[in-house]
Amino acid sequence: MDPEQERDPTRWFDDKEVEDADFPSGRCVGTRVHDDRCVFLDRAGRCVLQTATIAAARPGFDLKPFFCTAFPITLLHGTLWVDELCLEGPARCCRPAADGALSVLDVCDTELRHMLGDEGLEELRLAFKEYEP
């Protein structure tokens, strides 16, 4: 973590659970914001939980909350979306390229597999093939 990041774990998450039907439990607890960004983002905009996971050669991204691992894929009222943070504002690592040759299914394979599982992703791929012009 960068020196200016919050290091007290009791200050990393909101104090209150809120109802959210998109979570399996029907409830969620958000990560806190510090200096207009998630407490886990370093000054370069990278997630320190992901950085630590990779550095420790841990499988997957088991330190990150579920929806953070899925980013830029998100779930809104039961529907999969590419998070709007990737579609607007300054260029980000997850922003689509207008003339890109790859689809979101190619670029976000890991995230979609995380959200849907192997069978769900295969079902989405089949539906995408039927939709392609």
Entry pTM: 0.75
pLDDT in tens, 103-129: 889 989 999 998 999 999 999 999 999
Domain boundaries, the chain: 1-64, 71-133
For residue 117, what pLDDT is reported?
A: 93
All residue ranges of the chain with pLDDT < 70 are 87-95, 133
For residue 58, what pLDDT is reported?
A: 78
Helix (H, G, I), strand (E, B) or coil at 27: strand
- Locate the DSSP E strands across the chain: 18-19, 27-28, 33-34, 37-38, 73-76, 79-82
For residue 119, what pLDDT is reported?
A: 97
Return d(Cα 46, Cα 38) in angstroms, integer.
Answer: 10
CA angle 77, 78, 80 (to 5 degrees): 105
Burial class from Cβ neighbours inside 10 Å (0-12, 13-18, 19+) for residue 20 reads middle
Output phi, psi for 72, to 5 deg. -90, 10
Return d(Cα 117, Cα 122) in angstroms, integer.
Answer: 9
For residue 26, what pLDDT is reported?
A: 92
Q: Which of 94, 121, 120 is nearest to 107 (CA)?
A: 94
For residue 98, what pLDDT is reported?
A: 74
Return d(Cα 75, Cα 96) in angstroms, integer.
Answer: 18
